[in-house]
Chain A
Amino acid sequence: MARVIMLEPDVVLARTYREALEQAGHEVCVCREAQEAVFCVDDGLPDVILLELQLVGHSGIEFLYELRSYADWQNIPVVILSNVPPYEFSSNADLLRDTLGVVEYRYKPQTSLATIVSLANQLALA
């Protein structure tokens, strides 16, 4: 079982993801905003963070910089699951991988629930 923090502003989509992940035996904390996610990480270190980049107020990238500014939170794996297609970040792939610790970038419209669950399973075992 993994502790998953999901930063997803769309409540309907978040509910769907949460149900699927919980059925697979994971503990899920859904956050709508960057600040809420920081509090959630502070409550207990997650095994993985699933992150949407388009949020209200602070963006997902701002959240990543905030997350990595704390020494204890350097190694938390982050999977970007976003409506922003990866090719828009192709020139910044190194920054995402090396500086911000993004282990995987998934384009949300093309990522099935089953893929997300299996990704969480893999990271729980890692």
Chain B
Amino acid sequence: MQISRRAEAGLLLGNSDEALALVHDQSEIALQLIEGYMLSMRLSLDQNDAFTLEPVAVSSMLYDAAQQLTPIAKSYGVELEVVTAGRYGPVAAHQQGFKTALVSLGYALIEALPATNRSQLRLQLAAHKCRYGIATGLYADSELLTTEALRRGHQLRGRARQPLPQLTHTGGAGVFVADAILQALGTKLKVSHYRNLSGLGTVLQPNPQLQLV
């Protein structure tokens, strides 16, 4: 719909270059969401693929995701920041799966943040050590990202138009695509807190053997 309306506005208002750039960004992210959904299906059907693990540097994964999200964040007026304070060794993970989950999640949050009456629109892609491993995800200054909201969203998924009403005005496709990918990879989408920010993400396990390499 955004693509169609923006294209129409380009014709109507005569600013076709700007419209074209936005149409491009929106179509890219829509395609990535569809790809993400297909990946989640593929991973859940083919468990051999799901456990094709490789050494992954968490910070580079966050930078890659941020790079993909930058154009869309710009059009929504959201500032992206990558925070990887601390040294983390490589983790054994499904690189494509985790990166796609981060991008899907990022898109959902970028779209959701400006819909609330918040003065600061900043999203952090961050990794930090926690009790269970390396918590990796997206964090915002939002008290609306709660475990309860996520739990209700899971219950309402597929039954309500707006399963996460406190978080987003949309169907929250990005959140659920990320959740499906992470589930297929044997982990979970979780709400976590970091430096007074709330976020959605997952916990990656550091691999002592990889650190020796």
Contact = CB atoms under 8 A, between A and B. Distances in A.
A16 B9 CA distance: 7
A124 B161 CA distance: 32
A62 B162 CA distance: 15
A12 B162 contact: no
B8 A108 contact: no
A21 B162 CA distance: 28
A35 B75 contact: no
Contacts of B5: 13, 16-17, 112-113
Given A12-B26, A12-B75, A20-B13, A55 B117 contact: no
B8 A32 contact: no
A33 B22 CA distance: 24
A54 B165 CA distance: 8
A12 B114 CA distance: 10
Interface of B: 1-2, 4-6, 8-9, 12-13, 22, 26, 75-77, 111-112, 114-117, 144, 161-162, 165-170
Given A10-B111, A56-B112, 4 more contacts: A20-B12, A36-B117, A56-B144, A113-B8
30 contacts: A9-B114, A10-B2, A10-B111, A10-B115, A10-B170, A12-B6, A12-B75, A13-B2, A13-B5, A16-B5, A16-B6, A20-B12, A20-B13, A23-B12, A32-B114, A35-B117, A36-B117, A54-B161, A54-B162, A54-B169, A54-B170, A55-B169, A56-B115, A56-B144, A56-B165, A56-B168, A57-B166, A108-B1, A109-B1, A112-B8
Interface of A: 9-13, 16-17, 19-20, 23, 32-33, 35-36, 52, 54-57, 59, 83-84, 108-109, 112-114
